[in-house]
A = this chain, B = another copy of it.
Amino acid sequence: MNVFINLDFESKEPIYTQLMHQIIEGIARQELKPGEALPSVRSLAADIGINLHTVNKAYQQLKQEGFILIHRQKGVVVNPDGIPQADEAYMELLKSKLRPLVAESICRGVNADEFIEVTTNLYRDLNKKEEI
């Protein structure tokens, strides 16, 4: 029930964004499974020592992107139907985010194979289920 949340308060990346990423990573790792309940905005906020609205902001955005469902007077749940699959729009978005990373890497002499190796390692790491 309790997710492993690791926030860096010194980072310039907003807290609500970091929170989104952690939850998405949890889903990717299948530590969070479809239908599974997430902590309430208040309890999660209290747990990690931040404001309720910051958690709410992350939840609202995750909802809008199809990762979670929010039942008005019940609670928050990982989308039971699974996450909406990638469409053309997502692939374009992905490409636009990847573009500056590739450009800088080319400048710095990182060739495609090295770049792909980093990607492959991440795919491997993030596919590990909860190893008991």
A94–B110 touching, CB < 8 Å: yes
Partner pick for A110 among B86, B106, B126, CB 8 A cutoff = B86
Partner pick for A106 among B84, B115, B116, B126, CB 8 A cutoff = B126
Pairs across A and B, CB under 8 Å, 24 listed: A21-B99, A24-B100, A24-B103, A24-B104, A25-B99, A25-B103, A27-B103, A28-B102, A28-B104, A28-B107, A86-B109, A90-B108, A91-B118, A94-B105, A94-B118, A97-B101, A98-B119, A98-B122, A99-B122, A102-B123, A106-B127, A112-B119, A115-B123, A116-B116
Query: Chain A: how many interface residues by the 8 Å CB criterion?
Result: 39
B95–A122 touching, CB < 8 Å: yes
**Interface membership of A48, Cβ < 8 A:** no
**Interface membership of A2, Cβ < 8 A:** no
Question: Which positions in A face B, CB cutoff 8 Å?
Answer: 21, 24-25, 27-28, 67, 83-86, 90-91, 94-95, 97-110, 112, 115-116, 118-123, 126-127
| CB neighbours of A90 from chain B (8 A) | 108, 110
